[in-house]
Amino acid sequence: MTQIIWSPQAIEDVEAIRAYVARDSPRYADLLVERLVSAVEGLETDPLSGRVVPEVGDDTVREVIHGNYRIVYRVRPDLVEIVTVFHGARLFRLR
């Protein structure tokens, strides 16, 4: 089983998404964060299941799409690092 870790940037991203959505609906903000976290759980057993990020074109940089959000991760031996989470309408920049 592959370990999943969240980078400090990805944690900040999710916290910012929660804060933004919570301005209109704290309940929906919490639900959205739960769903974003759940969207990556399958990577424990199949880390290559996400698509290769088209802007990068590197097989080790992949993403899971959940609703309007892109969850970008890097695949390493026995490890998946969630790199960033952002709204799909925004431009992607690998930090």
The superfamily CATH assigns to domain 3-87 is RelE-like (3.30.2310.20)
- Structure tokens of 21? 């959505």
The model's pTM: 0.91
The residue behind tokens 């074109």 is: 57
Q: In the chain, what is the straight-line distance between the N-terminal and C-terminal CA atoms, in Å?
A: 27
Pairing of strands 79-87, 3-6: parallel
Q: What is the pLDDT along the chain (95 residues), one digit of tens a residue?
A: 899 999 999 999 999 999 999 999 999 999 999 999 999 999 999 999 999 999 888 999 999 999 999 999 999 999 999 999 999 877 676 65
Question: Which H or E run includes 22?
Answer: helix 8-22
